[in-house]
Each structure stands twice: as structure tokens, then as C-alpha cells.
Amino acid sequence: MKLDEIKNIIDDKFSDKIKIFLDVNEINIDVEKSIFYDFCKFLKNNSNLKLDFLSDISGVDYLDYGKSYWETVDSTSKGFSRAHKSDLLYFLYMKNRFCVSYHFLSYQFNFRLRLRVFVDLSDMRVDSVVSLWPTANWHERELYDFFGVIFVGHPNLIRILTDYGFEGHPLRKDFPLTGEYEIRYDENKEKIVREASQIKRVINTPKIIRKDFRYR
Amino acid sequence: MNNIDHYKMNFGPQHPAAHGVMRLVLDLDGEVIKKIDAHAGLLHRSIEKICENNLYTQNVGYMDRLDYVSMMTNEHSYVLAIEKLLNINPPIRALYIRTMFDEITRLLNHLLWLGAHALDIGAMALFLYCFREREDLMDCYEATTGGRLHVAYYRPGGVYRDLPNSMPKYKGKEFGEKRLKELNYNRDGSLLDFISDFVARFPNLVDEYETLLTDNRIWKQRTVGIGVVSPERAIALGFTGPMLRGSGVEWDLRKKQPYAVYDKLEFKIPVGSNGDCYDRYLVRVAEMRESNKIIKQCIDWLYKNPGPVMLENSKITPPLRMDMKTSMEALIHHFKYFSEGFIVPKGEVYAAIEQPKGEFGIYIVSDGSNKPYRVKMRAPSYVHLSAIDELARGHLIADLVTIIGTLDIVLGDMDR
């Protein structure tokens, strides 16, 4: 299914609250949080779309988006122009730190669609879609676990993949790779104790952003 | 005496039928399951977080360790996502090799599944037969890549190296001359000769498994009518792969959204009708036969068409070892490739393939740097296990083992 066809199918009442575009030849829709649930309902029930299969829900934390560890701007003015100044435009346009992206598939029309909804720390609530696609249940629990997104209307929103008694949301970009706590057996106390992690993080390769026009 | 309606019982975390470390808290009424609370995550290693801090090429090895029964298919999905972002197409021979190894991986997975599933239910002998065949397929892995399980063979831009012209042979006096000859009878030629010998033998071997199980009275009693899912419910629960096809939905990404060279090959999609454990067993066995056909077609093509297996673009693929001895450029490229990696343009991409267990998808968000900004794996096991409560309700504890078996879960994949 083409982008234009989908644009035609989607109701006018949503048109000012959504943004449809192609990203790497994949159909992407950004939707505002206020109409998110209604829009999902529309996607599922519209007979021309029939997005009856939700394949995945994933979260993205855009905190470090477009930031490199190793600034190579100075070399640009002096030498050849392979270094590139990081632009944060992509992040600024979104304004919100977190994104929840849903990947749909329509069995009948055989096309995929990505739906993104943005949330910020001030209000981490998103409507749950478990009532529309029951498979969302564990995906949403995982997102709550990893990012702290709160799904309103979820039947059982508890942690799923991290340890019992875990604190924090590990896939946020400000959560250290080495973790915040480490657990060891204390011989004097004769029990397992939890302490602040002593591991120092070593970055072997810095994250580098270069402008590369060869591919697209 | 107190009348106790419900009591709770732990299934796992260490249970041989749980296929790994998984804890299920069962709510029981007598021996009937009223509710299951599945505790996932005991094998959680935070691979997604690790991937964010690695170069694109370094992550290929982590993909093997997700679903450690279908290694190369995981790599395939990851590599496809990067190739989509880079907008490159690997050479055709690489695509055929990938297709062939995807199907070999499917056989590996289904053989392990069949053996372990039968063992769980009580058919002991099949496990040994399945592992006998797995050994041959692992030898193919080993001859090509050097590894038996975690191979890191697929790379962005192709596969790491071409198929070998010789197979390693059994050696040693302890075997005796006669036994050595038996062991090495199909190892004189190239890898392709070895696989074509296997492909010729395999249909008969599947027949052998089927004589043990398909019409077996005990097998049928244990699987027919257990864990029934209707087609609508299977879609709603997010089932993919044999779990979906067992319910009668004809959906296979290899046919419907072809990747690699599946659109050039002939094969069928086996579909069940009742959506119970027995149908899913039949679907998987039929899939093994189809995989065998696909491998046969790939071998025929690979015999006739030699060629490059990796793009010759030194910015995204490593240079040849031979060139590095003489060429300064190649040495620089090698250094940059393995120290800094390559830059992947901005964008978000979701690449899904038909893994033996179902749809395995990789969602990569790239911010134009040499490390993926976010990698998310859509693991079929995770989705399938989430439905265990619904599947097992009202069944006996013994049937729970059948249902866990039929879900074909691997905990490394599920917990990531």
C-alpha cells in the first residue's frame, strides 16, 4: 500500500493531529497523544486498513540523539570536511524525550505501518491498547519496566524482565551501562547485600557522527 | 479438614521441561490449572542496552546469543535492517548462501524442537535420532564459519566468506580403519557435496520420525485437542510462524514479503486446521520437508554460479586479507573498519524475517553515528509465552508441558 492511498483513507478529523511520512521507505505516522486511542481504534477497524496484527511495541529515549562523544568540528574549518557538527533538529522537532513506536501489519493488505506517539517526563501516560490488541499486554509491561512509560488502562502493569525489587528504568539513556547497584555476599553479615556499583565504565570506541552523503 | 480450593505451585525456575530458566506460578484446583502467572526475565542480559554501546559490526555476535537454537536467522534480520538503512544490496551469491543457511538453521531448530518436545511428552528415542541429524548440520556450520553455534557469519554487505571446498574429516586410530571409512564416506568433496548428500537422505529420516509419532496412539492422546487456538485469537495474540499456521492462517513472510531470494524458489506453506498441539507438530514436520526442498534448490544454484559473496565497498565491508599485505589503502580501511566502524545514515527501520519460531524483527533507530542509537528485537518466544495463561487454562499440569513444548520458546530469545 502506498503512502498516498493511506493518506486518502485516513479520516479528516485526524488530519491535523497526525503527521504521515516515509522513513527509509517505511510508512510512519506520528500521532498526538490526545487522540492516540481513537486513532488506534480507527486503524484496527477501518475496512481499508485492517491493521489487525500488532507485531511489536518499542520505546526510544531521544535524550542523546545526535550527540557524539567526540567532537570533530574544529577539523572542519582547517582540513577536509569529513567531520560534522551534530544537529539536534530532529530531537527539537519532537520536543518530547520518549517515543513509543508501534509496528503494525495488515494480513489482508500485506503492508506494515509504524505509529509513534511521544511522551515526556512530565507526563509519562499513554493509553493502553490491550483492549484492541491483546498481544500488547507484555510489550507494554516491558516498556513500563525499561522506560517507565505508564499505560493507562493496562490490566496488570508490573515489571517483567528486570529482577525482583529492581529500581530505575534501565533503557533510559541516563541509566549507566554498568548499572547502579551491584549485589554480593557479605561474609560478616552472612547475607546478600546491595551496594552502589564500583565498576568504571570504559568506552572503547567513541560514538562519532559524520556526514555521509554516499547512501542517500 | 479444611477444604482448599486453590493452591499455588511453582513450575521452575529450574525445570527440565521449561527449556531454560523460566518461572511459572500455577494456580491449581486439584490438578487442573486455573491461572498461570509467568515470571519472565530470569535470563535477562540487557542485550539491547549493550547493543546501543557497540559498533554495528560488533553486535552481530550478540544476535547469535538471543535465540541460541536459530542463530543465523537472527543475524539475518539484524543485517537486513542495516542494509536497509545503508541502502545496499549484497551480491546474489551471498543471498543464496543466506537462504541456504536460513533453511539449515530452520532444520536445526525444528529438529531440536521435535526431539525435546517428544522427550517432554515421553518419547525418548526420538531425541537421539534428531540430534544425530543436528550433528551433520552443525558440521556444515563449522566447516563454513569455524563455529558450531555462535557463528557471526552474516555481515552487512554479504556473508563473511565463501563456502569451503573441502570438509574436515574424522581422524585417529581409535576409530579403526573400517569405522573411519564409514564416518568419512560423504566428506571427500566440498561442503555442497556434503549438504546434497544430507538433503538426499533427509526425507527418509523425516519419514522415520513420523512413523514413531504421527499415528502413535499415545502421542495423539497427549497432543490432539490440547492448547487449541482459533485463527482470530491467534492473530489477536500476536502469534506468528508455525503457531499461527497451525491455526490455519496462511501467512509466511518468506512468501508474502520475500527477502533474500525466497521469491525465486519454489516451496509451499504448510497450514494446519484445528490449531492444537498436534496440528502444530504436523506443520513443523511439513516445514522441515519444505526446507529440505529449498536447500536443494539453493545447492543447485550455488554449484553453477561462483562469484563474490561480499560487497567490494571498503567503507562498509572489510578488505581482503591478501590486499592488506600489499595495499596501503586496504590497511587503512581495515583499521578504520574495525576501530571506528562505519557510519549508518539517519533513520528508523524495522526488518522482519521468518525465523523458525515466527516473525523475528529488528527495529533500529540510527542517528547517523557508528553505533545504533536503539536496537529492539521483536522476539517470537516472548509473544508466544505471553499467551500461555490463555492456552493452558483448564488443562492438567501434564498438558502444560505439552503446551510449553508446542510454543517452542527459547529463553535467551525471550528475555534478551
* pLDDT digit string, tens, across residues A127-151: 999 998 899 999 999 999 999 899 9
Query: Residue B365: its chain A contacts at CB < 8 A?
Result: 60
Q: Do A24 and B85 touch (CB under 8 A)?
A: yes
Q: Annotate B274-304 with b (16+ C-beta within 10 A) or e (fewer).
A: bbbbbbbbbbbbbbbbbbbbbbbbbbebbee
Which residues 6+ apart lie within 8 Å of A23 measured at CB?
A114, B347, B348, B349
pLDDT at A189 over 70: yes
Question: How far is residue B141's CA from residue B160's CA, in Å, rounded to a whole number?
Answer: 13
Q: Do B235 and A52 touch (CB under 8 A)?
A: yes
A168 touching B, CB under 8 A? no
Q: Do A68 and B369 touch (CB under 8 A)?
A: yes
CA distance B312 to chain A (A): 15
B263 touching A, CB under 8 A? no
Sign (positive/negative) of CA torsion B110, B115, B116, B119? Answer: positive
pLDDT for A71: 55
Over the stretch B230-269, which tens digit does the pLDDT of each residue have? Answer: 998 888 888 998 989 988 888 888 888 888 889 889 998 8
pLDDT for A213: 58
Over the stretch A14-67, which tens digit does the pLDDT of each residue have? Answer: 777 788 888 888 888 888 888 888 888 888 888 888 888 888 999 998 887 877
Q: Do B238 and A64 touch (CB under 8 A)?
A: no
Residue A36 burial (CB count, 10 A): 19
B56 three-state secondary structure: coil
Percent of chain A whose pLDDT exceeds 70: 84
The reported pTM is: 0.89
Between helix B191-213 and helix B92-121 the angle, nearest 10°, is: 30
Beta bridge partners of A83: A210
Q: Do B339 and A55 touch (CB under 8 A)?
A: no
pLDDT for B107: 92
Kindly identify which residue of chain A lies nearest to residue B336, measuring between CA atoms: A205
B378 touching A, CB under 8 A? yes
CA dihedral A52, A56, A61, A64 (to 10 degrees): -120
User: Pick from B258, B311, B328, B303: which is nearest to B163 by CA?
Assistant: B303
Nearest to B378 among A24, A55, A65 (CB): A55
CA distance B214 to chain A (A): 31
A54 touching B, CB under 8 A? yes
A216 touching B, CB under 8 A? yes
Question: How far is residue A73's CA from residue A116's CA, in Å, rounded to a whole number?
Answer: 32
pLDDT for B102: 92
Pick out chain B residues at pLDDT < 50: none
pLDDT for A90: 47
User: Pick from B74, B73, B85: which is nearest to B365 by CA?
Assistant: B85
Kindly identify which residue of chain B lies nearest to residue A145, measuring between CA atoms: B41
Give me the residues of A, 59-118, that contact B with CB < 8 A.
59-61, 64-66, 68, 84, 90, 101, 103, 107, 110, 112, 114
CB-neighbour burial class of residue A170 (10 A; exposed 0-12, middle 13-18, buried 19+): buried
pLDDT at A97 over 80: yes
Measuring CA to CA, how many Å separate A107 from each of A55, A112, B57, B125, B397? 11, 9, 33, 40, 35
Give the ipTM.
Answer: 0.86
A208 touching B, CB under 8 A? yes
Residue B376 and residue B363 in contact, taking contact as beta carbons nearer than 8 Å: yes
pLDDT for A23: 80
Positions of E strands within B201-355: 347-355
B347 three-state secondary structure: strand
B345 touching A, CB under 8 A? yes
Reported as a pLDDT band with limits 50, 70 and 90, residue A70 is low
Nearest to A53 among B238, B257, B387 (CB): B238
Write the DSSP symbol of residue B307: -
Kindly identify which residue of chain A lies nearest to residue B360, measuring between CA atoms: A55
Nearest to B340 among A28, A59, A205 (CB): A205
Side-by-side strand order, sheet with A111-119 = A18-23, A26-31, A111-119, A98-106, A53-61
B44 touching A, CB under 8 A? yes
Query: Residue A68: its chain B contacts at CB < 8 A?
Result: 369
pLDDT for A91: 46
pLDDT for A57: 92
CA distance B401 to chain A (A): 22
Measuring CA to CA, how many Å separate A149 from each of A102, A119, A164, B22? 14, 8, 19, 25
Radius of gyration of chain A (CA): 21
Kindly identify which residue of chain A lies nearest to residue B88, measuring between CA atoms: A215
Between helix B125-145 and helix B191-213 the angle, nearest 10°, is: 160
pLDDT at A92 over 50: no
Greater model confidence, B385 or A71:
B385
Kindly identify which residue of chain A lies nearest to residue B415, measuring between CA atoms: A161
